[in-house]
Amino acid sequence: MTANRFRVVIPARYASTRLPGKPLRLIAGRPMLQHVYDRARQSGAETVVIATDDPRIEQAARAFPASVCMTSPEHASGTERLAEVVERMHWRDDEIVVNVQGDEPLMPPVLISQVAAGLAGHADATVATLAHAIASVAEGQDPNVVKVVRDRSGYALYFSRAAIPYCRDRQDADAVSLLRHVGLYAYRAGFLRHYSKLEAAPIEQVEKLEQLRVLWHGLKIHVEIAVQMPGPGVDTEKDLSCVEQIMKTTTKQ
């Protein structure tokens, strides 16, 4: 499959402890999920599918209108939900599938196409993702901000909620920039079929970072520097207000 051919799946769950009904919360008069779907469509994806187990989300998505795949409510992660979509849609093993989170209404379409091209251009990678430089000490120390360290070829060495790499000597603080992981992934459909068979990793369970399962099993994740800074995602009411304000400001410009 060429770099300009890929599919997007948007996993969307209704339940959220911090923001119930999150995918259907309105931003600028439209459900948040619709904003995500529109950005995915603008990325050049061959297909965009919303994967959900909730009929309320299905009904809202079909009204956009969007393609919807109803999936099992038993999935423990969005990756498992993607795997079911791959099976239901009968996608070939070599097809590239990008996972776009349903709470990223400001995700630049160019990043979706970038991560797909990143996987297409690295045949030895199992997964591709993105990162950008961390701009502040507070961001670097925030456990909600996931950091990644890469090797010289751009492959992930480790992901962590801790500030890595740790600068032991103050004079080395500027030697390497901390990188913030962007939660956007590209997979080959064949790997998604295999993913659920991989044993969960101890480091994955400790850090609560699903991507560590890939590294623990000796597989490669390619990490490119994002060509554009992504906007904030939505986890709380405050985030929702922030994103709406950004959209209003952008519309006025």
Tell me the pLDDT tens digit for each residue of 139-198.
999 999 999 999 999 999 999 999 999 887 765 555 568 999 999 999 999 999 999 889
Rounded Cα–Cα distance for residues 125 and 78 (Å): 20
pLDDT under 70: residue ranges of the chain:
1-4, 170-176, 251-253
| C-alpha dist (Å) from residue 93 to 89, 119, 210, 225 | 12, 14, 21, 26
Kindly tell me the burial class for residue 15, based on how many C-beta atoms sit within 10 Å of its own C-beta (0-12, 13-18, 19 or more).
exposed
Please enumerate in sequence order all residues whose Cβ is within 8 A of that of 206, keeping only pairs 6 or more positions apart, or say none. Answer: none
Half-sphere exposure for 207 (CA within 13 Å, toward CB): 21
- CATH annotation of 7-235: 3.90.550.10
Rounded Cα–Cα distance for residues 102 and 110 (Å): 17
pLDDT score of 3: 47
What is the pTM (predicted TM-score) of this model? 0.93
Residue 205, token pair as written in the block:
């369970």
Rounded Cα–Cα distance for residues 230 and 252 (Å): 20
Rounded Cα–Cα distance for residues 22 and 19 (Å): 5
pLDDT score of 252: 58
Rounded Cα–Cα distance for residues 124 and 221 (Å): 9
**What angle (nearest 5°) sits at the alpha carbon of residue 106, between those of residues 100 and 112?**
40
Rounded Cα–Cα distance for residues 176 and 15 (Å): 39
Q: At 13, which amino acid appears? A: R
